[in-house]
Amino acid sequence: MTRLSAVKPSGHVQLGNYLGAIRRWADEHGPNDVFFICDLHAMTVPHNPGRLRALTREQLAILVAAGVDPEVACVYVQSDLVDMHGALTWLLECTCTYGEAIRMIQFREKGAGQTSVRLGLLTYPVLMAADILLHGTDEVPVGEDQSQHLELARTLAKRFNHSYGEVFTLPRAVLPTVAARVRDLSDPTRKMGKSAGDSPGVVYVLDPPDIVRRKIRRAVTDDRAAVRYAPDEQPGVANLLEILAACTGTSPYTLAGTISSYAELKESVADAVVETLRPVRERAAELLADPAELDRVRKLGAERARTHARSRLDAALEVAGLR
């Protein structure tokens, strides 16, 4: 069984990425699993090359610091296989329809109101499908926001297999039971997202403890003064309970019954988040101070990923009539 997932270096890694995805990759990974930093995806909106390079490095350090062992799973940087991801993307772009691409929610959201939208913003779900299919992936551990992209990957795999021959495995999304959609602390109607820049509602994995505490203390709640787990009516409180549940391995319903005030809730969340992130932050700092080790990890991952992907890409090129 192959599990695969990725994180995009469009900004600093935030708590939602960690609880919804990265931590799960670290908890459970084997020699067939593949995790990567998808730097090609970070180019769909205007980007700064130096910042992209730095963020790619930082995310590689965070993945390893979080406990994704590059000696066990394959951990790589997507652009190290730009030829392979690019080639398969083209085959899949010629499998996908324009109508399917414009229906993607993230394209609508990110493209809305912009006068000039990069074509890559429209086609990146196809690049994501290529990422997944290239490695013969069975399961994709992601947060809820990626579900629609996973459906597209399945559709394209089925269509390609049906048109040319059975090359691709059909992948499925695996969502976490809690923290599938961590919300922004200042606006709990939105998901927490790293691209928002340094916002008071976003906790970054590398934020120092005092900043984490400050952001959590200022989280928006409501004026009901009742600690209940009711996501529709009390989204701010529910979000805090979910974060606490994810950090402590309990359920938000159970926690709601044990906490009496918003102040107590925020203190508990702050303590739990600080302690959850502490080892990751400390280990990431050590790795970032050791460029040779990060280079070694990156090179090892690129070689393994290339070997892992080669035969499937060759088979796809062949059945499509290109060999």
- Options 6, 167, 220, 246; binder of ligand TYM; rule CB under 6 A: 6
Question: Does residue 171 contact residue 129 with C-beta atoms inside 8 Å?
Answer: no
Span of 49-57, 187-195, 201-209, 210-218 interacting with ligand TYM by CB under 6 A: 187-195
Indicate the SS3 state at residue 75.
strand
Span of 176-184, 210-218, 264-272, 300-308 interacting with ligand TYM by CB under 6 A: 176-184
Amino acid at 15: L
Q: In angstroms, rounded to a whole number, what is the distance separating the alpha carbons of residues 138 and 198?
A: 35
Query: At how many degrees (to 10) do helices 147-164 and 119-134 cross?
Result: 70
Question: Does the annotation mark 110 as catalytic?
Answer: yes
- Report the Cα 88 to chain-centroid distance in Å: 21
Catalytic residue among 8, 158, 191, 215: 191
Give residues 95-114 in contact with ligand TYM (rule: CB under 6 A). none
Q: Would you count residue 5 as binding ligand TYM (CB under 6 A)?
A: yes
Give phi and psi for 229, each to the nearest 5: -95, 90
Give phi and psi for 228, each to the nearest 5: -130, 155
Question: Does residue 73 contact residue 30 with C-beta atoms inside 8 Å?
Answer: yes
Indicate the SS3 state at residue 24.
helix
Span of 4-12, 62-70, 159-167, 247-255 interacting with ligand TYM by CB under 6 A: 4-12
- Options 56, 89, 123, 146; binder of ligand TYM; rule CB under 6 A: 146
Span of 175-183, 275-283, 284-292, 302-310 interacting with ligand TYM by CB under 6 A: 175-183
Q: In angstroms, rounded to a whole number, what is the distance separating the alpha carbons of residues 28 and 299?
A: 23
- Options 37, 68, 133, 140; binder of ligand TYM; rule CB under 6 A: 140
Q: Would you count residue 266 as binding ligand TYM (CB under 6 A)?
A: no
Q: Would you count residue 8 as binding ligand TYM (CB under 6 A)?
A: yes
Question: Does the annotation mark 194 as catalytic?
Answer: yes
Q: Would you count residue 235 as binding ligand TYM (CB under 6 A)?
A: no
Question: Does the annotation mark 299 as catalytic?
Answer: no
Residue with tokens 């060759």: 314
For residue 7, give the H/E element and its range.
strand 4-7
Q: 41 or 298, CB closer to ligand TYM?
A: 41
Report the 10 Å Cβ neighbour count for 305.
23
Contacts to ligand TYM by CB under 6 A = 4-8, 16-17, 20-21, 38, 41, 128, 131-132, 140, 142-143, 145-146, 179-182, 191-193
Annotated catalytic sites, by residue? 110, 191, 194
